[in-house]
Amino acid sequence: MIALRSSVILLVFLATEFNLSAQDRSYGRSVVATQYGMVATSQVSASQAGALILEEGGSAIDAAIAANAVLNVTEPTSNGMGGDLFAIYWEAKTGKIYGLNASGWAPKDLTIEHLHKKGVTAMPQFGIDSVTVPGVVDGWAKLHNRWGKLPWRDLLQPAIFYADHGFPVAEIIHAWWDGDHDGLLTNAESRRVFLPGGKVPETGEMFRNPDVARSLTLVANQGEAAFYKGEIAKAILKTSDELGGTMTADDLASYSAEWVEPISTNYRDWTVYELPPNGDGIAALEMLNIMEQFKPDPAGPHSPGELHTRIEAMKLAYADVKAYDGDPRFSKIPVDQLLSKDYAAKRASLIDPTKGNCTVAPGALGTSDTTYFTVVDRDGNILSVIQSNYNNFGSNVTVLGMGFALQDRGGLFSLDPTSPNALAGRKRPFHTIIPAFMQRGDEHIGFGIMGGLNQPLAHAQFVSNVVDFHMNIQAAMEEPRFTDRQQLGCRIVIESRVTPATLQALSKMGHVLQVHPDYTSLMGRGQAILHDSKTGLNFGASDPRADGAAIPEQPKFFGASAKH
């Protein structure tokens, strides 16, 4: 009897052990799967608002505008009506891919000569002279005019509600808010709006912004004209004038977002799309082209060999982007050369498999904070979109009476007149925010990972995780990442989930490592949605480095006839 009982216990233990083993995995969250539409953002309330719009019959565009407007309210650190927007749209019915560049230009009178006369010798990173024309509202309008289904006014109601009634501040947003406390003190309107009672709102504390509710209501009722020609425009101009800025009514009224043709490369058996310059999506594609010259390390995605290849490929691609990227309306940008496979092979030949290169130069050519989210509707259309103020609260200048900060994207201009990114009036600066899209056969993925200059290398790591190591999109998003936030040669920030043995091996190769916690927000915050056009199913992933979630739309439960 004792032997029989022991055998039963052993069988139960083995069965339990097998079941636990079958469920073991190296990532925390499950992929969200649904046969309906889905919205993945960095704030749950924004994802819910977008999903609600889908439930009302809205398109992916409608849901994205609603979600983005809520993010404007709940993540004022990262984005808002004072920032820019880029988008990639995949139309399921036709298979066509569209790109929208809604980045703003410098005011006509904001020039190198103007700054030199003021005694400024380096491009301002904050303040009114770092401000460029915001593009987001016109970007919303361009998208809605082409693919929107629901009335424009309806899309902004969730954001107006949260702005008027308040919302509890999320923990990561609180940390970023607190990090810009001193910057907010530099502007009286920023202090009034974003430091209620003279302090940063605590995690979980309710925050209201009735001024931005008013701004959103103006845009809801009057369209983009309210922002670029109406009452909001007048407030922007008054703010600029009081601070000695150069913005004029014509700078705002003449602005228009631009439809662009996405650029792409084939990585193994997938096609990966980014937007063309003035953005730095080209760096992600060049990095992938260089990585393609090497076989994936069989030891895994965060083995010393694989990480070394990725790090060195990143340095080569970033050196090229820094040297050659800019506004193609002002300079000829050598996109074709930078994305050629032959050029990638030449750049890859510079990688020493045993040693890090700390002084990477751009290649020789023949001539010449942020928030990301993605939406899929029940028809399978995917919108991959990113929106940003650049730094926390952008320029730290808040528009008088309107409740939103103006971006400091102009800080990315160069005052070197020989640079393709040299400051000039009505010129768009080099841009770090990039949406992405990739596809193979029936699989179509809208994805992005925000975080300044971190973005191209984060994109390349995500793509490699999916393509080379066959991860699902949630695992690929959670996989330990590295970054080089300041582009300082061999100085690499890396997450502590990488094994000590790998960290030691990388250090011996010459990489100077700064190890951060398991899911540091320095790696950016990503979202991804995969649509399978064969089954019609959608799969969503949301980065644990953010406060958000992938939320599916819900079917009409009540009053629907049961299917037997």
Residue 549: strand pairing partners:
41
User: Average of pLDDT values for 384-393?
Assistant: 92
Q: Cα–Cα distance between 300 and 306 in angstroms, integer? A: 7
**pLDDT above 70: residue 20:** no
510 within some domain? no
Q: What is the pLDDT of residues 119-173, one digit of tens each?
A: 999 999 999 999 999 999 999 999 999 999 999 999 999 999 999 999 999 999 9
pLDDT band with cut points at 50, 70 and 90 for residue 432? confident
3-state class (DSSP) for residue 547:
strand
Domain count, the chain: 1
Q: Cα–Cα distance between 128 and 106 in angstroms, integer? A: 11
193 within some domain? yes
Q: Cα–Cα distance between 294 and 478 in angstroms, integer? A: 23
In angstroms, the first-to-last Cα distance of the chain is 49
Q: Are 464 and 301 in contact (CB under 8 A)?
A: yes
Q: Are 523 and 8 in contact (CB under 8 A)?
A: no
Instruction: Provide the Cα torsion 195, 520, 39, 65; round to 10°.
Output: 40
User: Average of pLDDT values for 436-463?
Assistant: 94
539 within some domain? yes
User: Average of pLDDT values for 287-308?
Assistant: 95
Alpha carbon of residue 124 to chain centroid: 23
Q: What is the pLDDT of residues 33-90, one digit of tens each?
A: 999 999 999 999 999 999 999 999 999 999 999 999 999 999 999 899 999 999 999 9
- Model pLDDT, residue 37: 98
Q: How many CA atoms lie within 13 A of 9 on its CB side?
A: 6
- Model pLDDT, residue 485: 63
For residue 412, give the DSSP letter: G
**Residue 41 or residue 23, greater confidence:** 41
Q: Are 358 and 317 in contact (CB under 8 A)?
A: no
346 within some domain? no
Q: Cα–Cα distance between 335 and 348 in angstroms, integer? A: 18
Encoded amino acid at 214, one letter:
R
**pLDDT above 60: residue 563:** no
Which residue, among 260, 255, 203, has the nearest Cα to 227 in the 3D structure?
255
**pLDDT above 90: residue 454:** no
**pLDDT above 70: residue 3:** no
243 within some domain? yes
3 within some domain? no
- Model pLDDT, residue 368: 34
User: Average of pLDDT values for 238-265?
Assistant: 98
Which residue, among 404, 528, 530, 377, has the nearest Cα to 42 in the 3D structure?
528
Q: Cα–Cα distance between 347 and 287 in angstroms, integer? A: 10
169 Cβ contact list (under 8 Å, min separation 6) = 177, 201, 202, 203, 204, 205, 206, 207
- Model pLDDT, residue 366: 43
pTM above 0.85, yes or no: yes
Helices (H), ranges, 85-230: 112-117, 136-147, 152-155, 157-165, 171-179, 181-184, 188-194, 210-222, 225-228
Which residue, among 392, 373, 333, has the nearest Cα to 540 in the 3D structure?
373
CATH of the domain at 227: 3.60.20.40
320 within some domain? no
The one catalytic residue among 265, 370, 374, 483: 370
Element housing 274 (H / E)? strand 270-274
| Alpha-carbon distance values, 188 to 124, 216, 234, 366, 397 (Å) | 19, 22, 18, 51, 9
With a pLDDT cut of 90, the percent of the chain lying above it is 81
489 Cβ contact list (under 8 Å, min separation 6) = 315, 357, 358, 359, 360
Residue 137 domain boundaries: 28-280+325-333+368-480+518-554
392 within some domain? yes
Which residue, among 85, 73, 132, 110, has the nearest Cα to 397 in the 3D structure?
132
Active site residue 432: no
**pLDDT above 60: residue 23:** no
Q: What is the pLDDT of residues 496-520, one digit of tens each?
A: 999 999 999 999 999 999 999 999 9
Which residue, among 68, 126, 73, 45, has the nearest Cα to 402 in the 3D structure?
73
